[in-house]
Amino acid sequence: MIKRFAGKTLGAAALVAGLALTSGAQAAWKGWNIHTPDYPVSEAMEYFISEVDKRTDGRVSGKVYHSAVLGSQEDAISQMQLGGIDFAEFNLGPLGPSVPEVNVVSLPFIFKDVEHMHRVMDGQVGQELGDAIAKAGIVALAWYDSGSRSFYTTKHPISTPADVKGMKFRVMNNELYVGMVEALGGNATPLAYSEVYQSLKTGVVDGAENNWPSYESSNHYEVAQYYSDTQHLILPEVLCVSQQAWDKLSDADKKVVREVAQESAKMQRELWAKREQKSREIVEKAGIQYNAIDDKKAFQDAMGPVYEDAVKKNPALKDLIDQIRSIE
């Protein structure tokens, strides 16, 4: 607990009682981020913490640790639940094991497109997912964008599900994704993001999946040159604060933090759109081989067992799926 206030003065009484921060008290927040400092998420997080600092007159300040130097996403999620990390930006995919309801966004092809995902997350479903995340000790502040994810391999392009057969893919830490690749006839292994480059290079896996900016900024394109535009996942991300850090804020500061988070999300979505284009240009110039998918339906049709299995494990997903499907 003390660690989070390192270098700042906070009265012992306030520490013991866990009182809301008053004008004299200060919190120094430790922020986890997986991405490189020039990534849209990173710039938006920097904006968030510096504006929060300004608008709370320094009662809340902090530092963003980029490039996963504070650990893998899986570890950071546990750390945040324990209060060791105060704020972070997580992909909802790896949050699934801690918050089963959010698995609804990990169902392949659940969203029609990125705009549909935004409409869903900015409405009632987003609210319900935020509530579910709160039960896990994480306060969701704003939804960020991460475009759509597609497969890329070291071996050959993927045009039909048959091309996946026998290949081994890296997936994020969530069993649902293992099922997703298996439903296409491949094998999958969950690995931390930081391990993917080397695993592709040494042949531990034959492929992975991600959006254009991550494919580019992680340099995966250097070792896996066939990018096949399956767009099977459209995953929202979340800017969030640990419940422990949140509980120490006054109501007025909570309001400021929420407002700034919303602004940062708007900024992130704009930066995202630009970066997607730029990243695509960079990797195409570097010589990757791109293919569009003519028959996406073949991939969608293969996902039946993934949906059935997810609903069987967590019946609450049924209602969320219906809600998402009813949104135009």
Binding site for ligand GTR (CB under 6 A): 34, 73, 91, 93-94, 146, 172, 193, 210-211, 214, 237
Give the C-alpha separation, 32 to 64, whole Å. Answer: 6
Minimum distance, C-beta of residue 187 to ligand GTR, in the bound complex (Å): 17
Minimum distance, C-beta of residue 251 to ligand GTR, in the bound complex (Å): 31
Contact 49, 87 (CB under 8 A): yes
94 vs 161 by CB, closer to ligand GTR? 94
Q: Using alpha carbons, list the distances in angstroms from residue 265 to 54, 57, 115, 213, 259.
A: 18, 22, 14, 17, 10
84 vs 96 by CB, closer to ligand GTR? 96
Backbone angles phi, psi at 230, to 5 degrees: -70, -30
233 vs 317 by CB, closer to ligand GTR? 233
59 vs 220 by CB, closer to ligand GTR? 220
Return the closest-CA partner of residue 169 out of 217, 213, 226.
226
What is the CB-side half-sphere exposure of residue 94 using CA atoms within 13 A?
Answer: 19
Minimum distance, C-beta of residue 142 to ligand GTR, in the bound complex (Å): 15
Q: DSSP states of 210-255 as a string?
A: E-HHHHHHTTHHHH--EEEEEEEEE--EEEEEEHHHHHTS-HHHHH
Contact 61, 29 (CB under 8 A): yes
Minimum distance, C-beta of residue 51 to ligand GTR, in the bound complex (Å): 22
Return the closest-CA partner of residue 273 out of 208, 211, 209.
211
Sheet order of strands, 168-171 included: 187-190, 168-171, 207-210, 148-153, 226-234, 289-291
56 vs 148 by CB, closer to ligand GTR? 148
19 vs 178 by CB, closer to ligand GTR? 178
Minimum distance, C-beta of residue 237 to ligand GTR, in the bound complex (Å): 6
Contact 215, 152 (CB under 8 A): yes
26 vs 153 by CB, closer to ligand GTR? 153
Beta bridge partners of 187: 168
Contact 178, 108 (CB under 8 A): no
Minimum distance, C-beta of residue 200 to ligand GTR, in the bound complex (Å): 12
Minimum distance, C-beta of residue 315 to ligand GTR, in the bound complex (Å): 27
25 vs 104 by CB, closer to ligand GTR? 104
Minimum distance, C-beta of residue 297 to ligand GTR, in the bound complex (Å): 25
